[in-house]
A = this chain, B = another copy of it.
Amino acid sequence: MPFLDQITEPTLLLNETVARANIRRMADKAHRHHVTLRPHFKTHQSRQVGEWFKAEGITSITVSSVKMAQYFARHGWQNITIAFPLNRRQLPQLAELARQITLNLTVTSADDISFLREHLTEQVNVWVKADTGYGRTGIKTEDTAALDTVLHELAQTPQHPFLGFLAHAGHSYKARNKEAIVAIHQETLTKMRALKERYSGAWPGLQLSIGDTPSCSVTEDFSGMNEIRPGNFVFYDLMQNLISSCRLEDIAVAVACPVVALHPDRNEIILYGGSVHFSKDALPQADGGVIFGLVVPLTENGWGAPLSETALVSLSQEHGIVRTTPELFSQFEIGGLVGVLPVHSCLTADLMKGYLTLQGERLEHLSGINGF
């Protein structure tokens, strides 16, 4: 078990076979539906994992920060959308990126567009952020007055071509079954197609970009859309499993944690693995409580199915507490390792700052790279 022997402290294991299958499945779906898959790379933030996407023919990507755009541009990605509201304080960095690659920015107001027109000489392409019901940011698709103003501003900014409307139906994360996801997705499709109908006379090339992981995993209708931008699907996690976006066996990452103490009186196991490794994202339980992960046995081939009635129930900075049953308690030993499926793989990967594949290879994560 060479990959297990390397482990002395909490380590993020990555099952390459599962991740590549997740990528291939989504790439196939996009192909089948004639939409471009522009995956969101904020989940993995790794140049090596990026290569697995290239192997499936992916050439354009999404990121959520200028830093991520710089990182992936450095590693050969030539077409990058920053799906985050324009951060005006990073204008010099955006200008530099725009000289290197095809850079697509996201704006949330007419004011953003006039700012770009007045301050950015280098050409960028512009997505207008549409709010289809999530309510985080963007212009509500019903607010045609605001949209008219934005497109009027864009018409005066030919140096920064208008690409179309970009939406993120993040409220799909609050769904708890496929029907709820499908309903949110259909509403998004309807609202986005209405935008196209309204504006495609003046803007015949106008594109529509959507794509959260739940909707892209569960649904099969993308009619009228030009591209999808799911991200989490490369690894999935317990939250996506709860939502019904994935099976437990589609989860491609697990945190290997040393067992450091046993408490047989309460069937609790203390792990070296806390909130600085997992994040504090929690999975609501039927009894009103929350858990921070499910426990899987580690094997020479990776990990097995979650142990029944066993979960990571509490986190402090470096400690995790696993609660199990009297029957399973004897499986744990001090000095041993257990795996934990994370609730939110994006945050866990960001905290863990790198990966160990089941073949013993170390892969980088942007958050572990100095000077970035």
Query: Once the chains are docked, how many angstroms separate the CA of A62 from the CA of B369?
Result: 27
Interface centre among A170, A317, A347, A368 (most CB of B within 10 A): A317
Q: In the complex, A137 Cα to B261 Cα: how many Å?
A: 7
A7 CB contacts on chain B under 8 angstroms = 89
**Is the CB–CB distance between A42 and B318 below 8 Å?**
yes
Q: Which of A20-28, A96-104, A269-277 contacts B (4 or more CB under 8 A)?
A: A269-277
In the complex, the chain B residue whose C-beta lies closest to that of A371 is B370
Q: Is A85 part of the contact surface with B, judged by Cβ < 8 Å? A: yes
Least CB distance, A257 to chain B, in whole angstroms: 10
Nearest CB on B from A93, distance (A) = 7
Interface flags, A1-31, vs B, CB<8A=1, else 0? 0000001110000000000000000000000
- Asked if A111 is at the interface of the complex by the 8 Å CB criterion, the answer is yes
Q: Which residues of B contact A136 (CB under 8 A)?
A: 270, 314, 316, 319, 321
Which one of B42, B87, B280, B334 contacts A8 once the chains associate, using CB atoms below 8 Å? Answer: B87
Neighbouring B residues of A335 by C-beta, 8 Å: 88-89, 115
Q: How far is the CA of A88 from the CA of B258 in the complex (A)?
A: 8
15 A-B residue pairs with Cβ-Cβ distance under 8 Å, sorted by A, are: A9-B66, A9-B67, A9-B87, A84-B319, A85-B260, A85-B319, A88-B260, A108-B261, A136-B270, A136-B319, A137-B260, A170-B316, A275-B347, A276-B347, A279-B279
Complex interface: chain B residues within 8 A of A347 (CB): 275-276, 280, 317
A151 interface residue per 8 A CB criterion: no
- A88-B334, A137-B263 are known; give 6 further A-B pairs, CB within 8 A: A7-B89, A8-B87, A64-B317, A89-B335, A109-B262, A275-B281
Whether a CB of chain B sits under 8 angstroms from the CB of A153 is no
Q: Judging by beta carbons under 8 Å apart, are A85 and B270 in contact?
A: yes
* Chain B residue nearest to A93 in the complex (CB): B8
Residues of B within 8 A of A115 (CB): 335
A250 at the binding interface (Cβ < 8 Å): no
**Bound CA–CA A347/B353 (angstroms):** 15
Find A89's partner among B108, B258, B270, B318 (CB 8 Å cutoff).
B258
Interface residue? A167 (CB, 8 A): no
Nearest chain B CB to A319 CB, angstrom units = 6
Check if A351 is an interface residue, CB within 8 A of chain B. Answer: yes
**Shortest Cβ distance from A200 into chain B, in angstroms?**
26
The closest CB in chain B to the CB of A282 belongs to B280
A346 contacts B by Cβ under 8 Å:
yes
Contacts of A350 in B (CB 8 A): 276, 317
A122 at the interface (CB under 8 A from B): no
Distance of A127 from chain B, by nearest CB (Å): 14
